[in-house]
Structure 1
């Protein structure tokens, strides 16, 4: 709702062209000082943003203007630009332009207030750096009220709007006379907790000058979240230690994943064997970036499809190429390794698959309060690997096999710590320090701003202890494929025979299970007609980013599997229990049992690090680290063998 000096008039019939032009002129030239609203939300709204998105107002002296949305696009953010194509963002950009920019000649024409309740992605998302810089530049002050600290899809009684799954925030920004555009605006933040009635009561009692606010960070593009009161911001960010990162594999169609190869073969057979073009398109779930007529260059790897150069309409292969993939945290599944069935296969990640590779997975977009701060996988991860809500992948190795570490890092660390540091030690240290619940609990307040930072000890003894713990963590997260050594055999993560903690299949699963129950007094998991134990309560409760690992694993293998459905192929599932799943479940229980056993040592080591001397960002810079400054500094390194095929996608 926009407020101006004009008096509102009653509704009238749709205007004639001349009236429409006059109305548009009034909209463009009338001084509006307040805009308040609850704009609609719609992702991937490319093309529906009118002149805000596409440029050119319907005024003679404005035609040909560049889109005002472009002011929020910063250099190097090309892969994130699509996130700005959201209806609520179009409304934000229109409102800021209308109140602060559209009538500069009018008295007080660049002053006013904007107050919206919208989804909260703009507070922290990398796509919104330009928007945040703009708000800090044009506003005098701002206030952010986080209405959904519970995160995505909270319990309905806690939601401000019961039907809205997305996290919401109220943003209030005011521009007063004399605002200095060269000084970032002071922006404050507060959180509404509890049930809906509690939030409304807290909101009613809120004053803009009360003591319930916390100041946000002041860097131009920094998240609109509270500034840390600890040394957190002086620690190096994970994304600066490992500068090349990428989203995970993003097919946009769920049927290309399955926990067994046989299911993928049945789905593929049904798709390829379908003779009706319309039905085939429905099975495939066609979209802009992947459809039946489109061909794509082959993905790197001997296990990927060799026929990607012809459209699926002409495909005759009776079995698909399949590859192992890290679908969710600790959940290894299979994927159709064919770029024709994927919108965004992430070729560089496929090229980076090699012996010794560890894919670090970080939830850098959403806050979370439980579980380890990071997960690791020897298999190429899915886009939603961490906890089903996006994230990013930071490979330890480039496609050419060299470590993905920022330049000068190992030498600088050796200088600051006083011990020799190898590339593998850096990754192991990160795993030992971050991959346990005590890290997330210790930095719960700091992690309300998503993104992991690494406290680096100055003590060589503590460094070595953290590295040793991290080697065990990496061995376990990768199911024994990486960081093998004494006591860490390749491919075998089970506890020794005779160890009382060793999980066993105490009763075999004979049929596809429908239920999963934990029996605490027996320390057993009952899965359908099968039973596994011993399993402690901590293992049963083990979660990553709020997502229970065991329940998630089971959800994809039960009689009626969970997950989203967008194609009839999603209903083609296992008809009997796969015997391999029993072994995989025992491996999962073994990994979680061992990780829970390491947690006290990791928590103690973290405490030693934080109470001792810590290497700061400035220390590493002075010691010669060359932090990434540009997009070019964050690109993967390819060898002649690993270089991506640059042939474009083609149409039949």
Structure 2
């Protein structure tokens, strides 16, 4: 029988209930400590809070919808209508004039006096695993975190530390090659930590002296990507931030880095070039072995959007309304991150009852959505199912590694402090000065950084 059918309202009610129940458990029992393991905030000192959009219509699961919303905004000739569509906030109104986001070429004059073509949507990571699109216009976003855009690029990787949701399974850290918005499905904010502090993969965002100390203890070079791979494989939730146990066993380190690199390859959909893990060719998208690859068995309708998501465990079949996709391993269906099932969160943004479909939103830009299910969403879903299934298969390896690291020699917080690696200097917790490119300020003025 189908299980766990969901729409947007039921989904969000479940998220809120999960958070409330988890908070009650933590208050009564207290949260478990994590030995002497250093925190991620100590190893990667510079972090940025999640983006605060201020208006939901500037992000969408497809780029065509964003272009349609922009056209509806700039075609509104009446100032009051344009303001209502824009949805002003304390940080942004149609009269706001702000500088460009780094790397973008959007106008900087007030929207109330401007029109023009739609800013080219850019792909972003929404939440832990959902790849969506964003209008990269600083006039539209309350807090776009320019410091993140300034260091984004081909060599950059981002570690997204997910907020703790007590008694909820899932990774503590998810990595991305796309700029992440830091959204937490269950409403518990985390942090975004770029691997590099400057464009072009320069100056690792690692506490000074850490790679050198680990290299001495492990008798092998420790590259910034090695540390990020280790973090991805071993980070665990704790009440005061993700904890990262550091082994002093060279063999365990090598295993953890190889496991983490495979996870990085999966998190980035094959875009990360692995140096140590086998079967992770750079530029090749992850695929399930033949016979296990999910296929569309019954197609999605050409018109309209499905209003429910369910799973048939015996048949390993995912149901989107009347559509059927199989085989879908149970591990992919049950995979949770940030306090919710990833597939339910993904569908909640795209189904018939997604945000913006309420009667109160009629006439709002968020209500502009595809009339039918785009083919690109099917391709994205098949890729997401593959990634979640393959990540879920690695969980036993990660659990075994965690047990062996806990039982073996470690480089703990006390040793890091004795060596002068911790605490990280204040300068390492602030963004680096980036002075090698032009940025346009409000109303076309030159921006001083």
Are 2:124 and 1:325 equivalent residues in the alignment?
A: yes
Change in 2 beyond 3 A, CA 1:292/1:397: same
2:344 alignment partner in structure 1: 551
Which structure's relative contact order is higher, taking Cα pairs within 8 Å and 6+ residues apart? 2
2:291 alignment partner in structure 1: 500
Change in 2 beyond 3 A, CA 1:561/1:226: closer
1:453-501 deviations in Å (ceiling 9; x for gaps): 11111100000000000000011111112234552233433325x5232
Give 1:154 deviation, angstroms. 2.2
Change in 2 beyond 3 A, CA 1:190/1:558: closer
2:257 alignment partner in structure 1: 467
Give 1:554 deviation, angstroms. 1.0
Q: Is the 8 A contact 2:294 2:386 kept in 1?
A: yes
Over the residues paired in the alignment, what is the CA RMSD in angstroms? 2.9
Question: Counterparts of 1:112-511 in structure 2 under 5 Å?
Answer: 153-154=16-17, 191=28, 228=33, 231=35, 234-301=36-103, 304-307=104-107, 309-364=108-163, 367=166, 369-385=168-184, 387-400=186-199, 401-402=201-202, 403-434=204-235, 439=236, 447=238, 449-484=239-274, 486-495=278-287, 499-511=290-302
Q: Is the 8 A contact 2:45 2:206 kept in 1?
A: yes
Q: Is the 8 A contact 1:261 1:334 kept in 2?
A: yes
Q: Is the 8 A contact 2:195 2:224 kept in 1?
A: no
Instruction: Give the distance between the partners of 2:52 and 2:147, measured in 1 at CA.
Output: 13
Q: Which secondary structure does the structure 2 equivalent of 1:456 belong to?
A: coil
Question: Counterparts of 1:16-35 in structure 2 under 5 Å?
Answer: none
1:214 alignment partner in structure 2: none
1:150-201 deviations in Å (ceiling 9; x for gaps): x973279x88xxxxxx9689xxxxxxxxxxxxxxxxxxx9507xxxxxxxxx
Instruction: Give the distance between the partners of 1:500 and 1:430, measured in 2 at CA.
Output: 33
Q: Is the 8 A contact 1:387 1:544 kept in 2?
A: no
Change in 2 beyond 3 A, CA 1:266/1:227: closer
Instruction: Give the distance between the partners of 1:474 and 1:624, measured in 2 at CA.
Output: 30
* TM-score for the superposition, normalised by structure 2: 0.86
Q: Is the 8 A contact 2:127 2:183 kept in 1?
A: yes
Instruction: Give the distance between the partners of 2:439 and 2:40, measured in 1 at CA.
Output: 26
1:604 to 377, 400, 414: 400
Q: Is the 8 A contact 2:214 2:222 kept in 1?
A: yes
2:424 to 625, 628, 631: 628
Q: Is the 8 A contact 1:359 1:394 kept in 2?
A: yes
Instruction: Give the distance between the partners of 1:319 and 1:613, measured in 2 at CA.
Output: 56
1:637 to 432, 436, 440: 432
Q: Is the 8 A contact 2:23 2:166 kept in 1?
A: no
* TM-score for the superposition, normalised by structure 1: 0.61
Q: Is the 8 A contact 2:164 2:338 kept in 1?
A: no
Q: Which secondary structure does the structure 2 equivalent of 1:360 belong to?
A: strand
Change in 2 beyond 3 A, CA 1:190/1:264: closer
2:335 alignment partner in structure 1: 542
2:321 to 500, 521, 528: 528
Q: Is the 8 A contact 1:407 1:627 kept in 2?
A: no
Q: Is the 8 A contact 1:398 1:638 kept in 2?
A: no
Q: Which secondary structure does the structure 2 equivalent of 1:594 belong to?
A: helix
Q: Is the 8 A contact 2:100 2:439 kept in 1?
A: no
Give 1:625 deviation, angstroms. 1.7
Instruction: Give the distance between the partners of 2:76 and 2:264, measured in 1 at CA.
Output: 44
Q: Is the 8 A contact 2:311 2:333 kept in 1?
A: yes
Query: Any stretches of 5+ residues in structure 2 without a counterpart?
Result: 1-13
Instruction: Give the distance between the partners of 2:18 and 2:294, measured in 1 at CA.
Output: 34
Q: Is the 8 A contact 1:351 1:644 kept in 2?
A: no
Give 1:635 deviation, angstroms. 1.4
Aligned length, in residue pairs: 424
1:584-605 deviations in Å (ceiling 9; x for gaps): 1111011011101111111111
Instruction: Give the distance between the partners of 1:596 and 1:611, measured in 2 at CA.
Output: 24
Query: Any stretches of 5+ residues in structure 1 without a counterpart?
Result: 1-150, 160-165, 170-188, 193-224, 441-446
Q: Is the 8 A contact 2:47 2:192 kept in 1?
A: yes
Question: Counterparts of 1:13-162 in structure 2 under 5 Å?
Answer: 153-154=16-17
Give 1:563 deviation, angstroms. 6.6
Instruction: Give the distance between the partners of 2:52 and 2:357, measured in 1 at CA.
Output: 14
Q: Which secondary structure does the structure 2 equivalent of 1:586 belong to?
A: helix
Give 1:428 deviation, angstroms. 0.5
Instruction: Give the distance between the partners of 1:642 and 1:519, measured in 2 at CA.
Output: 53
Give 1:643 deviation, angstroms. 7.6
Q: Is the 8 A contact 1:472 1:483 kept in 2?
A: no
Change in 2 beyond 3 A, CA 1:418/1:584: same
Give 1:235 deviation, angstroms. 1.5
1:538-564 deviations in Å (ceiling 9; x for gaps): 210111122110011111111231379
